[in-house]
Amino acid sequence: MRISIFAAVALFATPLPAQEIVEVPASKAGVALPEDIFGLPQGQWYMAKQVSQGNEPCTPDACEAGFNSGNLVVSVEHAGKFTQVIAGFRGCQSVAFQELETGASPGKSRRGELSNLIKKVVKAAEQSCKLKAPEVPKLDVAALYPKAAT
């Protein structure tokens, strides 16, 4: 989990027709802009056990996908039974994030929810920073949850 002094914007994972953007002080949010993802080449998703630590393959318990547009970064991190999505813009102190309980091997429906969640978190980052996000390519969500070797 990334921790910083940045202000954060949280979206709460409740199935409501419209989600409310709530400002949470960074000291209580426990998330920050994943600055390390700005170091990735632009325009595509990268996946590793932890993208800031190199290209070690994902495991059934840990995997991170990172996307860098140049001004926007998105991190989708699977750890244990939860997956957290973080998005933010370079130079903006607000960070949008949301966590979803996916389990270690989510079904097609739950993976679809996560794909939609990525879009919502990027949209929240746009709203909180008053910036327009570029097109973020679709993430192969299933790749975040590799099967254990038998």
How does pLDDT run across 115-137, given as a tens digit for each residue? 999 999 999 999 999 999 999 99
Q: What is the DSSP letter of 117?
A: H
Average pLDDT over residues 64-91: 96
Three-class secondary structure of residue 101 per DSSP: strand
Give yes or no for a contact between 117 and 141, defined as CB atoms under 8 angstroms apart: no
How does pLDDT run across 84-122, given as a tens digit for each residue? 999 999 999 899 999 999 988 899 999 999 999 999 999
β pairing state of 8-10 and 95-101: parallel
Per-residue model confidence (pLDDT) at position 29: 62
Give yes or no for a contact between 82 and 114, defined as CB atoms under 8 angstroms apart: no
pLDDT at residue 19 above 80?
no
Angle (CA) 33-62-122 rounded to 5° is: 35
Per-residue model confidence (pLDDT) at position 130: 95
pLDDT at residue 24 above 70?
no
Q: Indicate the pTM of the whole model.
A: 0.82
- The average confidence (pLDDT) of the chain is 84
pLDDT cut 90: percent of the chain above it? 69
